[in-house]
């Protein structure tokens, strides 16, 4: 395997305005995506991912597909945890994958990681292929998050794990009010200063407003048919980790 990007189901023909717009957003911010993640989350996203990896408990040889992989930080973390297992990173943005490809090569994981330009709602893999299916900070950006959850469940093996790390909605005051002020007012301004993109970072709070909260997303996991669903609030609820297991009918 190598990390040359494979193009699969990556057409954006204007039939879905949200998909087309989100694609344009991430193409435009790809070069500044990592530094903006650090700035906007006060580097907490690294601690969130570390917590997630601990809960996942990956072992040598485990395989995974990382949807909306972006610049591949989580993809590479899973490759390290698995050591020898095949890891796929899938994203619809060529710009993001270009940044990720450089990271994969620098880390020496070219033979272990395959990067795929594709659609998270229509995965180009057979049923029961991977031990894990993950998505980090991408589920709120897709046109149909339930379809993505169904696809994630489909491609993991029986007993496999579906994992979502995503921004969420704090529920207690006064932190809730302070957070929404920062996220809705300050974040776009910081995007304008650091990444020279105002409208793109103004859209991020809007995407969260339409996305389900922690308990609602946990229920969506259950509706998908996943078992042993767990939801963990992170940093006062501004992010959340959701985990579900695909039922093993042999047990």
- Per-residue confidence (pLDDT) for residue 11, from 0 to 100: 39
Q: What is the pLDDT of residue 198?
A: 41
pLDDT at 118: 96
DSSP notation for 173-216: TTHHHHHHHIIIIIHHHHHHHHSS-SHHHHHHHHHHHTS--HHH
pLDDT at 13: 43
The radius of gyration of the chain from alpha carbons, rounded to an integer in Å, stands at: 17
CA distance 21 to 32: 18
Residues 6 or more apart whose CB falls under 8 angstroms from that of 2 comprise 110, 111, 114
- The pLDDT assigned to 65 comes to 98
Give pLDDT tens digits along the chain (251 positions).
Answer: 444 444 444 333 444 666 775 566 555 555 555 665 655 655 678 999 999 999 999 999 999 999 999 999 999 999 999 999 999 999 999 998 999 999 999 999 999 999 999 999 999 999 999 999 999 999 988 999 999 999 999 999 999 999 999 988 887 666 666 666 666 666 655 555 554 554 555 566 666 777 899 999 999 999 999 999 999 999 888 899 999 999 987 65
What is the pLDDT, as a whole number, of residue 125?
98
DSSP state, residue 131: E
Chain centre to alpha carbon of residue 49: 11
Q: What is the DSSP-derived secondary structure letter of residue 140?
A: G
Per-residue pLDDT at 141: 86
Give the global pTM: 0.81
């Amino acid at each position: 395997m190598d990390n040359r990007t494979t193009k699969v189901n990556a057409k954006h023909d204007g039939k879905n305005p949200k998909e087309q717009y989100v694609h344009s957003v991430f193409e435009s911010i790809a070069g500044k995506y990592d530094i903006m993640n650090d700035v906007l989350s006060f580097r907490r996203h690294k601690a969130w991912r570390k917590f997630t990896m601990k809960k996942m408990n990956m072992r040598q040889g485990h395989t995974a597909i990382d949807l909306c992989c972006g610049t591949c930080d989580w993809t590479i973390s899973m490759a390290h945890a698995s050591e020898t297992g095949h890891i796929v990173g899938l994203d619809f943005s060529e710009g993001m994958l270009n940044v990720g490809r450089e990271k994969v090569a620098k880390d020496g994981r070219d033979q272990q990681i395959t990067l795929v330009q594709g659609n998270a709602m229509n995965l180009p893999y057979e049923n029961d292929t991977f031990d894990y299916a993950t998505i980090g900070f991408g589920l709120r950006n897709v046109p149909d998050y339930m379809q993505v959850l169904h696809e994630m469940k489909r491609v993991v093996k029986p007993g496999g794990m579906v994992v979502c790390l995503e921004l969420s909605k704090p529920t207690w005051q006064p932190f809730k009010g302070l957070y929404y002020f920062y996220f809705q007012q300050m974040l776009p301004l910081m995007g304008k200063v650091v990444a020279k993109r105002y409208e793109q970072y103004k859209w991020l709070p809007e995407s969260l407003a339409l996305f389900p909260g922690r308990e609602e997303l946990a229920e969506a996991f259950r509706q998908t048919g996943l078992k042993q669903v767990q939801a963990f609030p992170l940093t006062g609820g501004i992010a959340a980790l959701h985990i579900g297991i695909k039922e093993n009918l042999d047990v």
